[in-house]
Amino acid sequence: MAQRVAVPDGANKKTSRVRVAVRLRPYMDNQDEKDEGPCVRGLDSQNLEIINWRNATETVKYHFDAFHGEQTTQQEVFVSSVKPILPHILTGQNASVFAYGPTGAGKTHTMMGSSDQPGVIPRAVSEVFKLVKAKDEDEGWDYSIGMSYLEIYNEKVLDLLSPSSQDLPIREDKDKNILIPGLTLTTISSFSDFDKHFVPASLNRTTASTKLNQRSSRSHAVLLIKVVRTQRALPHRQQTGKLYLIDLAGSEDNRRTGNQGIRLKESGAINLSLFTLSKVVDSLNSGTAVRVPYRDSKLTRLLQDSLGGSAHSVMITNIAPEYKYYFDTFNALNFASKSKLIVNKPFTCETVAVLPVKRAKEDHKAGGSGA
C-alpha cells in the first residue's frame, strides 16, 4: 500500500490533497438588471480575476488547479476533472466529486446537466460501466455495481431511493469504513438501469417539499456508486471502491437575505455542513491541522473515508459572472483558493483595448481616459 508510484508532477506531494477546479458559467442578461456586465473573468487555464470591491481600479487574481471558462463544455469538465479518478474505484479506492457554489451558479448543470448537455453524473456512471466492461476476464475478478442516493437536509440523512424513510445513522466499521445501515443499495447492471432509479429519485427530492427550489438549494444531494470486485479464485479477495457525486447546498450566506425562523435554522444547519467542509478541505490542503474535523457535521462524517486520506477528491466550485453574485462569488473563491493576489490593473482597461482602433481613438480625443 505504501509503495511509491510515478505520478505527474506535484501530484505525489500530498496524496490527501483535494483538487480544486473553478467553473465560470456564461454571463446571463437576465441576471444583470443594472446592465453592469461581468465582474469576473478567466485569464488562462488556471487563473481568473475579479474586481476588487474595495478599489475598483484593482482586480484580485486567483490561482486554481484548473479553471474552466464559460465556453467550457460538459465533456471538457468531465474529461479534465473527473474521468482521471474513475479507474481507482475499480481497485477498491474511494473518490468524491462535489459541486460547490452559490445557488444559480451552475452546480446542478455541472453535476446533472440536461438531456442534450449531460453533466458529470451521467458521464461518470457511463464511464464506470465502460471501465468494468473493458476489464480483462483473465484478470480473474467479478465486478458488481450498486447505487445509493441520499439527501442531507437540516443535518438529517434521508434515503431518496426509499422516500418514506427517516433520518439514518452514519456508522464506522472496524476498518474505518463509513456506512449507513438501512440505506438502500440497488444493484445496477447498465446505464439505463441506473437512469431508471435515478430519475424518479431526483423527482422525489424536489417534490418532497412544497417550496422545491428552496429545498433543493438547501440540501446536499449525494449519489453513491459502489463497485465491489471479488476474486474468482481462492481466497476470493473482495475490494470495494466508492464514488460520491455530490450536488452541494447553495453556499450563499442566508443571513444576509434576512431568513427567519425555520429557514434560519435550515441555514444554520447548512452553514454547519458547508462550514465544516471548508475546514476539512482547508486542513487537508494545508496539511497543517492536527485533527481534520470530519465528525463536526453529517456531510463530512459521511465523506470521512472518501475525502482526503487515500481517496481521490475533486471540488468543482461554480461561480456566476454577474455583480449580483459578487459577494457570494468572492466568498466561494476565498474558500476554494488559499492564494490570491491583488493586481493593480483596472478590470475595464482590457475591455477598452479590444474595441476597434478607430473607436478607441475617438474616445481618446473626447478626453475620457484619466487613467
Binding site for ligand ADP (CB under 6 A): 25-26, 101, 103-109, 217, 318
Answer for which of 94, 108, 313, 337 binds Mg ion (CB under 5 A) is 108
Task: Yes or no: say if 312 and 337 are a contact pair by the CB < 8 Å rule.
Answer: no
Instruction: Rank residues 19 and 107 by Cβ distance to Mg ion and give the closer one.
Output: 107
Stretch that binds Mg ion, among 52-60, 102-110, 112-120, 177-185 (CB under 5 A): 102-110
Strands (E) located in 194-334: 220-231, 238-247, 312-319
Instruction: Give the Cβ contact number of residue 15 at 10 Å.
Output: 12
Stretch that binds Mg ion, among 89-97, 108-116, 226-234, 275-283 (CB under 5 A): 108-116
CA count, 13 A, side-chain hemisphere, 338: 13
Instruction: Rank residues 26 and 84 by Cβ distance to ligand ADP and give the closer one.
Output: 26
CA dihedral for 319, 325, 330, 332, sign (positive or negative): negative
Instruction: Give the Cβ contact number of residue 353 at 10 Å.
Output: 8
Instruction: Quote the least distance from Cβ 360 to ligand ADP, whole Å.
Output: 31
Instruction: Quote the least distance from Cβ 26 to ligand ADP, whole Å.
Output: 5
Instruction: Quote the least distance from Cβ 30 to ligand ADP, whole Å.
Output: 10
Q: Residue 106 binds which entry of Mg ion, ligand ADP, none, with Cβ cut-offs from 5 to 8 Å by kind?
A: ligand ADP
Instruction: Rank residues 108 and 254 by Cβ distance to Mg ion and give the closer one.
Output: 108
Q: Residue 25 binds which entry of ligand ADP, Mg ion, none, with Cβ cut-offs from 5 to 8 Å by kind?
A: ligand ADP
Instruction: Rank residues 38 and 104 by Cβ distance to ligand ADP and give the closer one.
Output: 104
Angstrom distance (rounded) from CA 12 to CA 85: 14
Tallying the residues shown for the chain, one arrives at 371
Instruction: Quote the least distance from Cβ 52 to ligand ADP, whole Å.
Output: 24
Instruction: Rank residues 311 and 333 by Cβ distance to ligand ADP and give the closer one.
Output: 333
276 counts as binding Mg ion under rule CB under 5 A? no
The packing angle between helices 191-207 and 120-134, to 10°, is 150
Q: Residue 123 binds which entry of ligand ADP, Mg ion, none, with Cβ cut-offs from 5 to 8 Å by kind?
A: none
User: 66-68 and 95-100: which strand pairing?
Assistant: unpaired
Contacts of 362 (CB under 8 A, 6+ apart): none
Instruction: Give the Cβ contact number of residue 161 at 10 Å.
Output: 18
Residue with cell 423527482: 203
Cα(first)–Cα(last) distance of the chain, in Å?
A: 59
Instruction: Rank residues 61 and 109 by Cβ distance to Mg ion and give the closer one.
Output: 109
Instruction: Quote the least distance from Cβ 318 to Mg ion, whole Å.
Output: 9
Stretch that binds Mg ion, among 2-10, 107-115, 303-311, 340-348 (CB under 5 A): 107-115
Task: Yes or no: say if 121 and 245 are a contact pair by the CB < 8 Å rule.
Answer: yes
Q: Residue 24 binds which entry of Mg ion, ligand ADP, none, with Cβ cut-offs from 5 to 8 Å by kind?
A: none
Which residues does residue 40 pair with via DSSP β-bridges, in sequence order?
50
Instruction: Quote the least distance from Cβ 288 to Mg ion, whole Å.
Output: 33
Task: Yes or no: say if 82 and 333 are a contact pair by the CB < 8 Å rule.
Answer: no
219 counts as binding Mg ion under rule CB under 5 A? no
Task: Yes or no: say if 145 and 225 are a contact pair by the CB < 8 Å rule.
Answer: yes
What residue is closest to ligand ADP based on CB?
A: 106
Site for Mg ion, rule CB under 5 A: 107-108
